Structure 1
């Protein structure tokens, strides 16, 4: 029987036909109501949450068919024609119905400060023709019996036992636990911690859309995660397989103030632990103090302080004017046990809009005032400031008053703002709240001209946002890899593992780390329980992989192996071993880089193959060193010299072993030469060891022996070798031994490869042996065992003039500074003395004349002021192609004002004390003049070999008067008409 209070509120409430089914959680009250409803020909059930309404709708539809059941919430309406059953949220319940059955769930919410008056109104007014059920907590018994005369009370006991488990750290909570907090920030922080330590957690917040919340609950229910972090949203209606509930907070903001939760509220949440006949536990975690004994006893025995009053607001409204409406809403209750509700969101909006003159002007009729109050019922899903929410409500009301419906452009603009699926969790949550507002608008009758279009559009946007939010929540708070691995480990099942070509290890399709060589490196992002689960699963799955790799490595060709400059042996790029020094520098030991899972014969195979490759590299690249060290054919001084070369990795400064070299006979020299030794002007060395490969390996072995791989310069010198550099600027902080081991010699600020220094000696040697009158002057020759630096000398060294000064001094030469005029004059004198003899035949004269005409500049080649190879100065003068131009250039230089910087002196170089103390002929050949060298195109023919080095020069037995005079001493007869005569005359002028 429906009962309606009159305006005086003096009618008593009749409770006949009303049954209250009361009891704690897990008593099967909701299930009972569904069974009773489908037993009637029609029915209506009201539920506290949209999420729970959707769940019950699904169950009822499975029983009676979707065509027979409707779903009505503020944001969703599914109403098939002729539907006999209706599932609603309490706010969407009609105040009157003709249905045979009515049920209202969680009636204890009638005491809630925010929503209580809605529940109270439906409890008082809504009745089924045949049966009415009120479902809720036992705390409602007293107040219901007081309000409704003749009401029937049924108490249902809990089907499982709920026990207090005390306090535990979050990381020590058992599986299948729900951690409860009352702020989004705290929920997120706990979720992050659970993900790092235990693999992840599902997140349930009241602000989530039903679709997102369902997806998160399914994540937990399916076992993908073992933990649920939630607000008190799980306290009503969510049927979860939770074994333990842990409170990380026990106070919350109820819309008006921060307060501690009551024992009944704590029990409502804790009661989620244990389902059906399975017992559950509850406790505290985080910073929450252990519950006092009295509170624990109340929760365990389900005995709480009864509800004393219910929130009430008059439903008999006066729409004559805005002020009349406000007065009717402010009317106090006339029935004991009801209390006037505090101003709620809709009443606050009405109060704000009542001060708007435009709104007042439009709300002059009952229909307009009713429309205004209807608009004020728009929920504030976004939880924004009352004034902001009131502006939206005011805009909607004005459109309804002026247009008869909400403006389509305004609606489209607001919906578009919420349509993007980009952004993080908070951004998407705000958009969902915003779109829920317009979903609610689209379902209000008469508010839109085309409601079906907007219902479909807003539903589609909400679904997409919900899916995106679920994906963000899962990505942030769930490590699927760890959760899957831990579940498989608990099941004691062998995980499926694979290794891709890049070395990534995938277990059950999830990346767990990398397998490089014979070492497994777990994913660095794994921490705590996550790291242990990843490693355990990977090693369990890869148990057979080590032996398979050992077989492949043992049969690997040399091309798949490499010994790097860091001493690491790599197989297809993956490190498998590292070299360590032993007493013998040429016999290092290989230490395997392998996990302990590589054992027994498999490990022996890997070690044997690695050592064989390392020995092959040393024996092939450093074979000359091994031959010198083990040369039994040598004896005496030669054997000692070979030993020194082996100890110094194939390079010795010649001056350091000058006495030993001079004491070698030709047979000893030949024996050393057959072992690859070259007797150079500055070094005794093995050319094969100066190449990048052998030099780099030698440097590595020395660095291992001397623990110098971390010293400055090691990597840089090795890199210079790999780049094929012949010289480079040195760094004072580098270990100097690295240069020598790599085949370089430190000279000034540059390090020069020793074989390049021998090429320099090949350029210097002809200049030192040239005497005036002995033929054409070589480039750079100065006469009297002296020379000047030429561009060719600097070019092969890649050096500047300043570098050359330091290099030559380091090689033992001494410098004599000269002025440019002195050098030019002497070089011109030498060139003039080299003119052809006057007694040359006519053919020779003609040939010389033709040559002079073709190359007139050749007669002045090598002058300091010219551009030939002998030019050593920084003060370069213009190119001289005629002698007159040379004179003009010299005069111009002399005419330079004294204020200008004086030209730098020219350095004339002579052999130092070390070189000059040897006999000239012996020293020239012993210095390497006779070394065999490959003859390339354009190279001068080398001098005689070392076998004639110690042979004395044959003396001319003829008397001086019988000897043939030198060509330059013969009188020269020149044809006055020959072009050569003019050239000779010009040279005579220069000499004067």
Structure 2
């Protein structure tokens, strides 16, 4: 049990029996090792992608029973699923530190190296994967022990790197060495920027900070990446690997854990760094370690490449030297010279004896004492505590205490912090079992899926500790129930962590858009929703406003660039669908406003000034430039027909415009018609130039629908709401328009089209003309045309106030004379207002008069009527 063991007499029967029962004679002398080796041991050595694990699975399934040990829980699980598919659920067991699936009588055991029986468990076949990890500082002694001791009844197989060959030959001289060549070629591809990495690439970094940084950049430039780190739970790692394997993302960012047998469809491996911290110091990877990672590129017969990531700064220059490139490409590496060893079966007489055996050194030159692992560091720290040391006495308690110290440090807190957790655990274990209620409470505390990535990682590490505790056969009451609870919580936390990683490092929309840039972009499913939403493979990239593509407002700047590129590729197809739908719907939902043709909030076309105000020219938007010419022509023709129907209310204006082009109308009439058309059907009489128009031409104007009024020349048909609103909509008349075109409205700063001022109110020009004609008719029928009365019923019914009516009538040449007020104490009906008329000057604008009209006397009918209106 080590060089420091006291000499035992040769006639000590107990020692002789122990020596005889031990496979290697306990002192690991060369002659003893040679005697223990036989031809049933096969060492299958070679680089990655040689099919070693697949061969071992085939050999194990050919035997009646078997066991395989792996360096990672997820590898054990992967092979467990494969063997279970061949042999059935009842024949295959899975045992790891945190998981135990062990059907009664199972013949085949898949496990981690730590959970693997030292002697193979009496099975016909035994295999140890990644046996070169015997040279690992942390776990090397475990692999060395299994390499030297785990044996199958019929066949033993050691799988590993070719660097292990000299030590296998010296330690196991009768073992059969089988070298397997790599199935594919691995070649150096130089350095490349992150934005130029080929799809299906793995980027390897050696710190969490660097992994996150690279993954964030890949999310921006390439849509995202899967993330694989040792700190993740196996379930989360599997989900992330599946994210990459399924093709949802084309990149995976990982630590060197990717080199431990993960089967990935990787074509290129890029190193973000070539240095790492190995627990003692930061150092450069050796060529064998580089090859183990680079060997993930290429699979089966497909060749792979490796290189570095341009722009790496931390840890020195990221460049391979010529010797490293040659070694990796040719699979030639310096052989291992030492394997780490630690006493696997120490004595449990006392803590001091236990520690002494664990610190003992081997006597074989090929073996060297393992560095102090976390379990030994915890043991030594706790042994210095007098209270703990006094409580650990006797073989049973010493053994149980050592098993407690071997609890893995899943939280990576270091020996000091981890020893505190182990100390608290020991307080319960030294008395017997841990109560189920206590364990259930601790598990429930961790069953929370909220929080960020680091928080979820911490909870997963904590629940893995409890999962390990619950798997121990004699630590927890209701072990199976508590173990199931712990696995359930770990699964939920892993799902939440996977979701957080995907949310942070995967932009599914950008990932889909990156695929649209490839050669097979036309094979992707592009859809245009009824609401104008544009999707690529069900990922929204934007929407169409009319025929203009608008990028999703939630996208960042890099996404917008990609979306515009994707939209440009698929825009002809999308616009053709939209054009076809518009034509089929006969443009029922289109509208004209602000000089444009709209469909809801979407602009379809713009209206430009044509030869005539009533006939604007329709121009499709520039966004339709990508539309197929045939569709564009068809759409243009259909929209022209639609516009012609929509402009029907402007037929009176069009009639005037056409008449203005008729030479037979005469230059004076043509000038008036052009002025009238230019002012959208209404022009003040002073600006109409009526003095130059012969009277015989006025019937011609009336046939065109033109009314020559006392103050205005206008087209009554154009004073209706429909043509007025349409004129404003097409941009021919920019003045405000009333929806109902009421007869009289309150005045404001701007005069709406078709109205004129009447004091503080506004009156429609045709209604004003109606008042003027009524006044002239009453003047003509009066006995004295120079002093006559006007019926106030008509202006009152229109809602025109007295003072505003007086101003309007004065503009038309009418003047009101109010009677004298009755003296005090005199009663009688109010005297009527007398009116007179004098034709206003036609060649100048009406004079502005700021004088307020005379206030009518009390009792006047107009005053009473005004009060009623108010």
Q: TM-score range by the shorter chain?
A: 0.7 to 0.9
Summarize the Cα distance change of 1:457–1:742 in structure 2 as closer, same or farther, 3 Å threshold: farther
Q: Deviations over 1:836-872 (max 9, x none)?
A: 55xxxxxxxxxx8xxxxxxxxxx9xxxxxxxxxxxxx
Q: Deviations over 1:532-564 (max 9, x none)?
A: 884477458x38x72x65555446546332112
For residue 856 of structure 1, what is the aligned residue in structure 2?
A: none
Matched residues in 2 for 1:688 and 1:401: separation?
105
* Residue 644 in structure 1 maps to residue 675 in structure 2: yes
For residue 293 of structure 2, what is the aligned residue in structure 1?
A: 269
Matched residues in 2 for 1:322 and 1:754: separation?
111
Summarize the Cα distance change of 1:775–1:173 in structure 2 as closer, same or farther, 3 Å threshold: closer
Matched residues in 1 for 2:657 and 2:826: separation?
52
How many residues are treated as equivalent by the alignment?
A: 789
Q: Per-residue deviation at 1:472?
A: 4.5
Which of residues 25, 33, 38 in structure 2 aligns to 1:14?
A: 33
Contact 2:249 2:511 in 1 (8 A): no
Q: TM-score, normalised by structure 2?
A: 0.76
* Residue 92 in structure 1 maps to residue 123 in structure 2: no
Which of residues 259, 263, 268 in structure 1 aligns to 2:283?
A: 259
Q: Per-residue deviation at 1:50?
A: 0.7
Q: Per-residue deviation at 1:167?
A: 1.9
Contact 1:27 1:157 in 2 (8 A): yes
Q: Deviations over 1:925-947 (max 9, x none)?
A: 99999xxxxxxxxxxxxxxxxxx
Deviates more, 1:153-162 or 1:1-10: 1-10
Contact 1:681 1:928 in 2 (8 A): no
Which of residues 593, 597, 601 in structure 2 aligns to 1:569?
A: 597
Which of residues 94, 98, 101 in structure 2 aligns to 1:75?
A: 98
The answer for unaligned runs of 5 or more in structure 2 is 1-19, 313-317, 780-786, 794-798, 847-856, 860-870
* Residue 292 in structure 1 maps to residue 321 in structure 2: yes
For residue 3 of structure 2, what is the aligned residue in structure 1?
A: none
Matched residues in 1 for 2:751 and 2:657: separation?
18
Summarize the Cα distance change of 1:745–1:209 in structure 2 as closer, same or farther, 3 Å threshold: farther
The aligned runs of 1:778-857 (5 Å cut-off) are: 830=821, 832=823, 836=827
Summarize the Cα distance change of 1:122–1:651 in structure 2 as closer, same or farther, 3 Å threshold: same
The aligned runs of 1:511-522 (5 Å cut-off) are: 511=540, 513-515=542-544, 517-518=546-547
Matched residues in 1 for 2:676 and 2:521: separation?
64
SS in 2 for 1:249: coil
For residue 838 of structure 2, what is the aligned residue in structure 1?
A: 921
Q: Per-residue deviation at 1:175?
A: 3.5
Summarize the Cα distance change of 1:719–1:276 in structure 2 as closer, same or farther, 3 Å threshold: farther
Q: Per-residue deviation at 1:794?
A: 11
For residue 147 of structure 2, what is the aligned residue in structure 1?
A: 123
Matched residues in 2 for 1:311 and 1:164: separation?
32
The aligned runs of 1:143-158 (5 Å cut-off) are: 143-148=167-172, 150-158=174-182
Matched residues in 2 for 1:373 and 1:187: separation?
36
SS in 2 for 1:645: helix
Contact 2:44 2:160 in 1 (8 A): yes
Q: Per-residue deviation at 1:205?
A: 2.7
Contact 1:419 1:461 in 2 (8 A): yes
Which of residues 472, 479, 491 in structure 2 aligns to 1:451?
A: 479
Q: Per-residue deviation at 1:447?
A: 1.6
Deviates more, 1:262-271 or 1:174-183: 174-183
Output the aligned Cα RMSD. Answer: 5.0
Matched residues in 1 for 2:812 and 2:337: separation?
112
Contact 1:507 1:537 in 2 (8 A): no
SS in 2 for 1:252: strand
Matched residues in 1 for 2:21 and 2:616: separation?
99
Which of residues 745, 755, 769 in structure 1 aligns to 2:764?
A: 755
Matched residues in 2 for 1:723 and 1:339: separation?
104
Matched residues in 1 for 2:204 and 2:370: separation?
28
Which of residues 162, 174, 182 in structure 1 aligns to 2:206?
A: 182
Matched residues in 2 for 1:618 and 1:436: separation?
76
The aligned runs of 1:408-447 (5 Å cut-off) are: 408-447=436-475
For residue 127 of structure 2, what is the aligned residue in structure 1?
A: 103
For residue 380 of structure 1, what is the aligned residue in structure 2?
A: 409
For residue 185 of structure 2, what is the aligned residue in structure 1?
A: 161
Q: Deviations over 1:580-621 (max 9, x none)?
A: 334655443222135345344432222122223334444524
* Residue 62 in structure 1 maps to residue 85 in structure 2: yes
Q: Per-residue deviation at 1:223?
A: 4.0
For residue 267 of structure 2, what is the aligned residue in structure 1?
A: 243
* Residue 331 in structure 1 maps to residue 248 in structure 2: no
For residue 911 of structure 1, what is the aligned residue in structure 2?
A: none
Summarize the Cα distance change of 1:215–1:558 in structure 2 as closer, same or farther, 3 Å threshold: closer
Q: Deviations over 1:152-179 (max 9, x none)?
A: 4333322322211222233333333322
Q: Per-residue deviation at 1:48?
A: 0.5
Contact 1:67 1:83 in 2 (8 A): yes
Matched residues in 1 for 2:483 and 2:544: separation?
53
Summarize the Cα distance change of 1:702–1:63 in structure 2 as closer, same or farther, 3 Å threshold: closer
SS in 1 for 2:311: coil
Matched residues in 2 for 1:315 and 1:390: separation?
21
Q: Per-residue deviation at 1:292?
A: 1.5
Q: Per-residue deviation at 1:474?
A: 4.5
Matched residues in 1 for 2:804 and 2:195: separation?
70
Summarize the Cα distance change of 1:665–1:630 in structure 2 as closer, same or farther, 3 Å threshold: closer
Matched residues in 1 for 2:252 and 2:437: separation?
42
Matched residues in 1 for 2:176 and 2:337: separation?
19
* Residue 630 in structure 1 maps to residue 649 in structure 2: no
SS in 2 for 1:103: strand
Q: Per-residue deviation at 1:921?
A: 3.5
Matched residues in 1 for 2:710 and 2:186: separation?
98
For residue 796 of structure 2, what is the aligned residue in structure 1?
A: none
Matched residues in 2 for 1:833 and 1:5: separation?
144
Q: Per-residue deviation at 1:266?
A: 0.6
Q: Per-residue deviation at 1:796?
A: 9.9
Q: Deviations over 1:450-493 (max 9, x none)?
A: 11112222222223333344444445426378559949975687
For residue 4 of structure 2, what is the aligned residue in structure 1?
A: none
Q: Per-residue deviation at 1:495?
A: 5.0
Which of residues 161, 185, 189 in structure 2 aligns to 1:137?
A: 161
SS in 1 for 2:122: coil
Summarize the Cα distance change of 1:8–1:271 in structure 2 as closer, same or farther, 3 Å threshold: closer
Q: Deviations over 1:119-168 (max 9, x none)?
A: 22322333334433322112222334444454443333223222112222
Q: Deviations over 1:41-75 (max 9, x none)?
A: 33221110111111222222233333222111011
Summarize the Cα distance change of 1:25–1:583 in structure 2 as closer, same or farther, 3 Å threshold: same
Q: Per-residue deviation at 1:364?
A: 4.4
SS in 2 for 1:92: coil
Summarize the Cα distance change of 1:591–1:218 in structure 2 as closer, same or farther, 3 Å threshold: same
Contact 2:517 2:566 in 1 (8 A): no
Q: Per-residue deviation at 1:296?
A: 0.4
Matched residues in 2 for 1:56 and 1:386: separation?
33
* Residue 210 in structure 1 maps to residue 234 in structure 2: yes
Matched residues in 2 for 1:188 and 1:283: separation?
20
SS in 2 for 1:382: coil
Which of residues 38, 44, 48 in structure 1 aligns to 2:67?
A: 44
Q: Per-residue deviation at 1:268?
A: 0.5
For residue 307 of structure 1, what is the aligned residue in structure 2?
A: 336
Matched residues in 2 for 1:600 and 1:153: separation?
72
Matched residues in 2 for 1:678 and 1:398: separation?
110
The answer for unaligned runs of 5 or more in structure 1 is 705-713, 731-738, 780-790, 798-806, 814-826, 838-847, 849-858, 860-915, 930-967, 969-979, 981-992
Q: TM-score, normalised by structure 1?
A: 0.68
Matched residues in 2 for 1:812 and 1:112: separation?
111
Q: Deviations over 1:673-731 (max 9, x none)?
A: 77666778876655665666544544455589xxxxxxxxx8xx76987999966876x
SS in 1 for 2:138: coil
Q: Per-residue deviation at 1:529?
A: 9.7
Q: Per-residue deviation at 1:234?
A: 2.0
For residue 879 of structure 1, what is the aligned residue in structure 2?
A: none
Contact 1:622 1:694 in 2 (8 A): no
Summarize the Cα distance change of 1:430–1:758 in structure 2 as closer, same or farther, 3 Å threshold: farther
